[in-house]
């Protein structure tokens, strides 16, 4: 089978396009013949050696896939070759075939296409975990979503609206502001051209945001602490901006705020049954028409470096997907 491999920390163009023997599923595992694989910003960080998870060399990146089951390992029940599925892959997603744990494999929801299916496992699971379990978002609260036009931002806006929040989204261009609004944001703010922290306070009548969803870090995190409400929750999702920020403890004290980590991968590792329950909740939202992954950019598997470059340069809104025949 064909796949991309990383043999040393590198930029996307440094990956190797190789032909290897397809892996066999072990006990409790299933192999998918991939139809689509979705990209995430952390894929780029991982091949650069900047992500918290560093697989041994050589490795194939990619964590969101959808396709057809073509082999079932020992002890797996309820799955058979020919079944349509989406999965959370522990790497190895940017390949023609991927072996995944049966515990992270889910039925393709009715009416969902391959690209949408590949767009759901990481970002929607992360946002539901962050907003429901970590921030305990309540209907009627103000939710501020940074990078609203990113994959995680899109999912956070949609899930936040489904939970009854009033949503403000930030983005960096008119096109991305329009995209964020289309996902359900009640208000959108260009953080390049305005004092967005002051605008958040103005939109909320001086209150500030009750929950702030921050996948960016850096200066965005710093300013978020200035427009958070009393008893607010500042969700640390990731550091796409590059700089890992810190916060003065007096700000935490004076506003009674909580700075809350939302490392979904670590939670799943500690609670293996969690993904199935989360997927069931997301499927309910899908069936109710409350969430819809929007794929705005797609490439072939062979074009992965080009796709990663576009993602790194912030040229993608929503999800970027590789379509695999």
Task: Indicate whether 156 and 257 sit together in one domain.
Answer: yes
Q: Is 114 domain-assigned?
A: yes
Return mean pLDDT, the chain: 95
Going by DSSP bridges, is the β-strand pair 187-190/209-214 parallel, antiparallel, or unpaired?
Answer: unpaired
Task: Indicate whether 155 and 210 sit together in one domain.
Answer: yes
pLDDT at site 265: 85
Task: Indicate whether 299 and 224 sit together in one domain.
Answer: no
Task: Indicate whether 152 and 114 sit together in one domain.
Answer: no
Number of domains in the chain: 2
Q: Is 281 domain-assigned?
A: no
Q: Is 113 exposed, middle or buried (0-12, 13-18, 19+ CB in 10 A)?
A: middle
Task: Indicate whether 250 and 128 sit together in one domain.
Answer: yes
| Domain CATH for 257 | 3.40.50.720
Task: Indicate whether 188 and 144 sit together in one domain.
Answer: yes
Task: Indicate whether 104 and 18 sit together in one domain.
Answer: yes
**φ, ψ for residue 29 (rounded to 5)?**
-120, 160
Looking at 243, 264, 285, the residue that finishes a domain is 264
Helix/strand/coil percent split, the chain, to 5: 35, 25, 40
Q: Is 87 domain-assigned?
A: yes
Task: Indicate whether 28 and 54 sit together in one domain.
Answer: yes
Looking at 247, 264, 281, the residue that finishes a domain is 264
Task: Indicate whether 111 and 188 sit together in one domain.
Answer: no
pLDDT at site 242: 77
Between the alpha carbon of residue 145 and those of residues 51, 132, 138, 152, the distances in Å are 22, 14, 15, 9
Q: Is 57 domain-assigned?
A: yes
Task: Indicate whether 251 and 143 sit together in one domain.
Answer: yes
User: Of 310, 285, 301, which is closest to residue 131 (Cα–Cα)?
Assistant: 285
Q: Is 137 domain-assigned?
A: yes
Residue-number span of the structural domain to which 300 is assigned: 2-120+293-323
Looking at 264, 283, 313, the residue that finishes a domain is 264
For 51-94, the pLDDT digits (tens) are: 888 999 999 999 999 999 999 999 999 999 999 999 999 999 99
Task: Indicate whether 98 and 127 sit together in one domain.
Answer: no
Q: 263 and 238 in contact (C-beta within 8 Å)?
A: no
| Domain CATH for 54 | 3.90.180.10
pLDDT at site 221: 93
Q: What is the mean pLDDT of each run of 10 residues along the chain (325 residues)?
A: 97 97 97 97 93 92 97 97 97 97 96 97 96 98 97 97 98 96 97 90 97 95 95 94 87 94 91 94 98 94 97 93 93
**DSSP SS3 for 307:** helix
Going by DSSP bridges, is the β-strand pair 142-145/209-214 parallel, antiparallel, or unpaired?
Answer: parallel
DSSP string, 80-100: -TT-EEEEE-SS--SBSEEEE
Q: How far is Cα 118 from Cα 95, in angstroms, rounded to an integer? A: 13
Q: Is 127 domain-assigned?
A: yes
Q: Is 272 domain-assigned?
A: no
Q: Is 15 domain-assigned?
A: yes
Task: Indicate whether 259 and 139 sit together in one domain.
Answer: yes
Which run of H or of E encompasses 270? Answer: helix 264-270
């Amino acid at each position: 089978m064909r796949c991309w491999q990383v043999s040393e920390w590198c930029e996307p163009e440094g990956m190797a396009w190789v032909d290897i023997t397809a892996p066999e599923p072990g006990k409790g595992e299933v192999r998918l013949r991939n139809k689509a694989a979705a990209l995430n910003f952390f894929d780029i960080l991982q091949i650069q050696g900047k992500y918290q998870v560093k697989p041994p060399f050589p490795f194939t990146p990619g964590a969101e896939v959808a396709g057809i089951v073509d082999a079932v390992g020992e002890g797996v029940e309820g799955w058979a070759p020919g079944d349509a599925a989406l999965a959370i892959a522990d790497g190895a997603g940017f390949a023609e075939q991927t072996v995944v744990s049966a515990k992270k494999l889910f039925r393709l929801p009715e009416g969902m296409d391959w690209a949408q299916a590949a767009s759901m496992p990481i970002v929607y699971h992360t946002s539901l975990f962050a907003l429901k379990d970590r921030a305990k978002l309540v209907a009627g609260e103000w939710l501020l979503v940074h990078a609203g036009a990113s994959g995680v931002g899109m999912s956070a806006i949609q899930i936040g609206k489904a939970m009854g929040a009033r949503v403000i989204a930030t983005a960096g261009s008119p096109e991305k502001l329009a995209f964020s609004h289309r996902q359900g944001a009640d208000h959108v703010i260009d953080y390049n051209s305005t004092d967005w922290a002051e605008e958040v306070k103005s939109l909320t009548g001086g209150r500030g945001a009750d929950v702030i969803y921050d996948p960016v870090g850096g200066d965005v995190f710093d300013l978020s602490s200035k427009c958070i409400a009393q008893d607010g929750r500042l969700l640390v999702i990731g550091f796409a901006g590059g700089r890992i920020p810190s916060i003065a403890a007096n700000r935490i004290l004076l506003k009674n705020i909580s700075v809350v980590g939302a490392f979904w991968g670590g939670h799943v590792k500690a609670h293996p049954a969690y993904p199935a329950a989360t997927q069931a909740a997301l499927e309910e939202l899908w069936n109710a028409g409350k969430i819809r992954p929007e794929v705005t950019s797609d490439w072939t598997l062979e074009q992965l470096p080009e796709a990663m470059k576009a993602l790194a340069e912030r040229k993608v809104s929503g999800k970027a997907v590789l379509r695999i025949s």
